[in-house]
Chains A and B, each alone.
Chain A
Amino acid sequence: MSEDILRMRGITKRFPGVLALDDVDMRVERATIHALVGENGAGKSTLMKILSGVYPHGEFEGDIELEGRPARFRGIQDSENAGVAIIHQELALVPELSIAENIFLGNEQAQRGVISWNRTNSVAVELMAKVGLSDSPRELVENIGVGKQQLVEIAKALSKQVKVLILDEPTAALNESDSRNLLNLLRALRDEGVTCILISHKLGEVLSVAESITVLRDGKTIETLDNETDEVDEDRLIKSMVGRDLEHRFPPHRPEVGEVFFQVKDWTVHHPEHRERIVVHGAELSVARGEVVGLAGLMGAGRTEFAMSVFGRAWGSHIQGEIHLDGKKLRLHSVADAIDAGLAYATEDRKQYGLHLDYDLRQNFTLAGIRQVSKAGVVDQHQVTSVSERLRSSFGVKTPSVFQPAGNLSGGNQQKVVLGKWVFTEPELLILDEPTRGIDVGAKYEIYELIHELVDQGKGVLMISSELPELLGMCDRIYAMSAGHITGQVDRETATQEELMRLMTLETAKGGVEL
């Protein structure tokens, strides 16, 4: 009944040595939400960069038709004028400027070069109302949460009379309620006639919101599914994305849980700058050998803060409480102490905190455990190389050599390097903070297998994750955290998403922490 607003036909894009897109077709109906899914490296982002003019006409083969007319964008400016706007994963906002300034960045409300602040702010308020933002337009973007920042980006796109709005992983950094708001907003925009193209790894949300779904794999269009008429579910999508049947998303594993060897008692952490603010309140937690323990919580619950403060006081101030490992009380004053004691912490943010992207795998693998490849402060470079080769092959990092900079790897492979780096320090307890965030289904499976291998060797794993199915699938026991308190724990057998969500949102008697 409705016409296509966008047709892309025979899109082929080559990079030196790589065929990124191979004869890709895509049709998008007007005023629908169209999802684009596929593993990392499948070509989703490249396709959207072509559509938004990042790769100008002539740098690729194939045709784009927008509203029935051929579109030949020479740059982003062209595509924006034609009504195509893209919101990237990494938000393009200036934190030090106000919401209104960000909305009109590059499109200032000015007459003869003089900005009209009245107009800027009043039009901004209108646009903000459309996306459900009630803050002052003069509020600085750095002071609002990441969920609202996402909305500012959308308001910015709306200010440019957007017809096709492309969102690249918009909910990846959002908590459940912000995600829900965002998806509702997409539905509202659709009803107003805006066409949305949604790139997402979260298949549940894709299925709930999209009318049609295009699957890319290895630079090719695999199929376009109609979510309303076809029988589509997550397993069906995964199968299409990875090209193989992932019967179980989690590898089979028989846990052999041993003695409790790691305990944190009455752990309280204050914010490093606002020292009167308590971020973790008297947390208690234990891990047994061979056990995968989960830590669930909404964003801002204090999970990462808890983990980092345990890891040699890498975060926080006025830290009180006790850590016991194998019955001995640990006194950790620095990250180096924590590593020596047998702790490892693989951060949620591998690019900023986990890896040196410019440096090769050798240096990344051996940085934390450098003392194992050095004598009297002198590093044995040959040993570094051979150790790295060993880690590369045992962790299945897909790269031609260990001399490759970590920044050249895909997210999943980078995560394997982070794991390898920490396993090399021979820890007893590994804290894995969002170990599968932003990586594709196939790589997730491999990470899960690696975690199982670790616990089978008698190590303990504490896993922080925002994806409840992942915690339920992987963990032997799950703690829930809410506003800095550990609000309960559930066993593998009795755990359900509903129960966890109840604990994660529990209002504690002592009053929550504003974050």
Chain B
Amino acid sequence: MSMLRGVVDAVRGANLRQYGMIIALVFIMLLFQVLEVMKLDQNFLTPRNITNAIVQNSFILILAIGVMLVIVNGHIDLSVGSVLAFTGAVSAIALSDWGLPWYLAVLAAIGTGALIGVWQGFWIAYVRIPAFIVTLAGMLLFRGLTLWALEAQTISIRSEEFRMLGSGYWIQDSQVAGYHLPTLLIGAVGAGFIIWMQSAGRRNAIRNRIDTGSPVAWAVKTVLLAAATFGGAMVLAAYRGLPVIGIILVALVMAYTFVANRTVFGRHIYAGGGNEKAASLSGVKTKQTSFWVFVNMGALAGLAGVVFTARLQSATPDAGEMFELHAIASAFIGGASMSGGVGTIVGAVIGGLVMGVMNQGMSILSVGQDLQSVILGLVVLAAVFFDVWNKKRSSGPIVGTTPGGSGEAKRRGKGPDDSGPSGDQPKRPDPVGAAK
């Protein structure tokens, strides 16, 4: 009985906003499974398809991580597709024309991306030109520079190691009963790590006398997470094991989740995006934070450029066109708020996977490009609509407030309360415009 209650609590406690997209992703995967069994008499949920969904979208996922932080910080980046193309070109030129080893070519691309971030971050953070304009200019600028650098030609990549980054798999010959052993081991270690982290967190919380909720609910959640991790590893292991890019992605997600949630810098990204004025009056160096967010975005676009070039085995002038829009869409599907301050790294990655899985599923069903684009557009709209609807639904009145007012209104800083005139004095000093 208490077991059942625990499960119910766990389900109820899992707020829709956080897990909605995961549920949607699972639902979309099952939908394609059904459709493909019906129409083509074959499985969609095969280890091969799942591996491909990750590998073929890896560069979008990498971009989405950076774009998510940019959006959380209250900005936007339209230039990432062009930056990806340019940095990809730099890596290809570094390999072929300059004869650099593969790792230096990778560093050259990431470094170039970071420098581009310095350029754009300077205009956005310190000169305070809106990011939309700066990165729109960057989109044109770096596309042009890519054409110029490549002399409108395609450069192909010969370095094996470099290609591995885009399409390689880790330690090929260690299959056991059809499963890739190292991947299984990583899955087991990952599952163990999750259990350890969750227990340590719970112990710590109890020590600090924080309400931890029902132990059964906690156990159910932990076991589900660990099982999902190991299950995911098993699926990958059944094909060719963990792709190199998969390792990179897992590392990025973990590192950036940590930065976003657990570091002062990460909290400052959110605080600056959520309410820049309040943040700067609380001692947050909002300009500096925004600057580094763009430098980081540039570096990640550089990494994505490497991965994309490696996967294509060539650098082309039109690489990465429309990628910025896919990355931005991923962030919004994954729960980012247009007004800043809201969004998670995992959300961005799941948003990217939703788009990737849909692309793949529709391609296998030979849905035409025209219809694919229409459907993806509707999905973006639906995801954000769900978010808005969910907010409205869950924003009931709480202690000490005058009821009424939607969540959206709250998001814009006009909470439904009875208090003073705080919002209506036009001529108050503005800390943001402060001169130093």
Contacts and interface: CB of A to CB of B under 8 A. Distances in A.
A374 B434 CA distance: 28
A268 interface: no
A515 interface: yes
Interface in A313-361: 313-317, 333-336, 338-339, 345, 347-359
B422 A350 contact: yes
Contacts of B151: none
Contacts of A484: none
A145 interface: yes
B71 interface: no
Given A356-B341, A437-B422, A398 B277 contact: no
A352 B403 CA distance: 20
A379 B264 contact: yes
B413 A437 contact: no
A399 to B, nearest CB: 6
Contact of A413 (B274, B283, B400, B422): B400
A7 interface: no
Interface in B44-75: none
A281 interface: no
Residue in A145, A313, A349, A409 whose Cβ sees the most chain B Cβ within 10 Å: A349
A49 interface: yes
A146 interface: yes
B401 interface: yes
A358 B434 contact: no
B399 A398 contact: yes
A290 interface: no
Contacts of B280: 314, 335
Interface string A68-91: 000000000000000000000111
Interface residues of B, number: 63
Contacts of B211: 401
Residue in A314, A385, A404 whose Cβ sees the most chain B Cβ within 10 Å: A314
Contact of B282 (A41, A405, A421, A437): A421
Given A15-B404, A308-B429, A339-B283, A169 B421 contact: yes
A172 B421 contact: yes
Interface stretch (B98-106, B201-209, B377-385): B201-209
Contact of B411 (A41, A314, A358): A358
B284 A367 contact: yes
A398 B428 CA distance: 30
Interface in B393-426: 396-404, 410-411, 413-415, 417-426
B38 interface: no
B270 to A, nearest CB: 8
A386 B433 contact: no
Contacts of A359: 270-271, 274, 341
A383 B430 CA distance: 33
B429 A41 contact: no
Given A335-B281, A383-B208, A421-B282, 11 more contacts: A15-B403, A15-B404, A41-B401, A91-B424, A300-B427, A304-B428, A347-B281, A363-B271, A368-B283, A382-B210, A405-B410
B436 interface: yes
Contacts of B433: 272-273
A489 interface: no
Majority secondary structure of chain B interface residues (helix, strand, loop or mixed): loop
Contacts of B133: none
Nearest to A440: B418
B397 A17 contact: yes
Contact of A40 (B207, B419, B436): B419
Interface of A: 15-18, 20, 40-46, 49, 55, 89-91, 95, 142, 145-146, 149, 169, 172-173, 201, 272-273, 275, 300, 304-305, 308, 311-317, 333-336, 338-339, 345, 347-359, 363, 367-368, 370-371, 374, 377-379, 381-383, 385-386, 389, 398-401, 404-405, 407-414, 421, 437-440, 515
Contacts of A16: 396-397
Contacts of A355: 275, 278
B396 A17 contact: yes
Given A45-B402, A304-B429, A386-B209, A411 B420 contact: yes
A352 B419 contact: no
Given A386-B209, A399-B400, A356 B424 contact: no
Contact of B279 (A89, A300, A367): A367
Interface string B207-238: 11111000000000000000000000000000
Given A313-B436, A357-B410, A40 B417 contact: yes
Contacts of B435: 272, 275, 316-317
A438 B419 contact: yes
A381 B258 CA distance: 12
Contact of B281 (A353, A374, A439): A353
Contacts of B116: none
5 contacts: A359-B270, A409-B398, A410-B418, A421-B282, A437-B420
Nearest to B271: A367
Contact of B421 (A173, A272, A336): A173
Given A351-B413, A377-B265, A438 B420 contact: yes
Residue in A304, A335, A377 whose Cβ sees the most chain B Cβ within 10 Å: A335
B267 A367 contact: yes
Interface of B: 201, 204-205, 207-211, 261-267, 270-271, 274-275, 277-285, 341-342, 396-404, 410-411, 413-415, 417-431, 433-436
Contacts of B265: 377
B428 A382 contact: no
Contacts of B205: 382, 385
A360 to B, nearest CB: 11
A508 B173 CA distance: 88
Chain A to chain B: the 8 pairs with minimum beta-carbon distance, closest first: A438-B420, A411-B419, A15-B403, A172-B421, A173-B421, A410-B400, A407-B415, A317-B435
A44 B424 CA distance: 19
Contacts of A169: 420-421
A200 B349 CA distance: 50
Contacts of A333: 436
Nearest to B400: A410
Nearest to A168: B418
Contact of B263 (A149, A312, A378): A378
Contacts of B210: 382, 385-386, 389
Contacts of A149: 426
Contacts of B400: 40-41, 398-399, 409-410, 412-413
Contacts of A312: 283
Contacts of B397: 15-18, 20, 408
B422 A438 contact: yes
A416 B436 CA distance: 31
Nearest to B415: A407
Contact of B283 (A44, A335, A404): A335
A348 B417 contact: no
A371 B414 CA distance: 29
B434 A314 contact: yes
Given A314-B280, A438-B422, A305 B429 contact: yes
A173 B278 contact: no
A313 B434 contact: yes
B419 A399 contact: no
Nearest to B209: A386
A404 B398 contact: yes
B402 A382 contact: no
A41 B402 contact: yes
B133 to A, nearest CB: 20
Contacts of B426: 95, 142, 146, 149
A275 B283 CA distance: 24
Nearest to B279: A367
Given A40-B402, A352-B413, A370 B419 contact: no
